[in-house]
């Protein structure tokens, strides 16, 4: 059902590591480099075990800004589920992590999942543009989950 290609409004940025004798530093995002719609309002970091996937799921209003910097490498799956999008019905796969540090902004309505393919535990930073569960965590969570539906059209390989 999905064709392979690039998805409209998904922004991928290769991240540079600035290395010196102390270690390294990477800028994950800069407000002057992203659309105002996607400016983060919170951040969190997650650790995913080797060969484990998270998702697929989507958000109605939230955009995610994932930063894959390592350790480990990830295969990010995206499906454009926005009927109004010029790339509706497109699937995009992005490799990111230790060997290809990248940040990826995923707009609302784009279904997404990632799998740790690097053979060791890996971390992912997310800087979403909406608060999880709203102010004070008193609002419904903006997630439409697909991972527990065996009939889902959003399948990882």
Q: Is residue 79 domain-resident?
A: yes
Blockwise average pLDDT, block size 10, the chain, 157 residues? 96 95 94 94 97 98 97 98 98 98 98 98 98 96 95 94
Q: What is the pLDDT of residue 88?
A: 98
Angstrom CA distances, 124 to 3, 69, 74, 95, 127, stand at 27, 7, 9, 13, 10
What's the predicted TM-score (pTM) here? 0.95
Q: What range defines the domain where residue 85 resides? A: 3-132
Task: Give the N- to C-terminal CA distance of the chain in Å, as an integer.
Answer: 15
Report how far residue 157's alpha carbon sits from residue 141's, in angstroms, rounded to the nearest whole number.
Answer: 27
Q: What is the pLDDT of residue 157?
A: 86
Q: Is residue 28 domain-resident?
A: yes
Q: Is residue 70 domain-resident?
A: yes
- Domains of the chain: total: 1
């Amino acid at each position: 059902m999905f064709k392979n290609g690039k998805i409209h409004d998904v922004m991928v940025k290769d991240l540079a590591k600035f290395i010196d004798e102390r270690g390294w530093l990477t800028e994950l995002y800069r407000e002057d480099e992203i659309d105002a719609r996607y400016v983060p309002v919170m951040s969190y970091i997650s650790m995913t075990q080797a060969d484990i996937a998270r998702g697929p799921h989507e958000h109605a209003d939230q955009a995610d800004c994932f930063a894959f910097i390592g350790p480990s490498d990830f295969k990010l799956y995206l499906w454009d589920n926005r009927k109004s999008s010029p790339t509706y019905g497109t699937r995009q796969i992005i490799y990111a992590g230790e060997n290809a540090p990248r940040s990826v902004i995923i707009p609302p309505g784009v279904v997404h999942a990632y799998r740790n393919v690097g053979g060791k535990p890996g971390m992912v930073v997310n800087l979403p543009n909406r608060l999880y569960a709203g102010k004070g965590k008193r609002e419904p969570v903006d997630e439409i989950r697909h991972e527990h539906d065996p009939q889902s059209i959003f399948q990882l390989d």
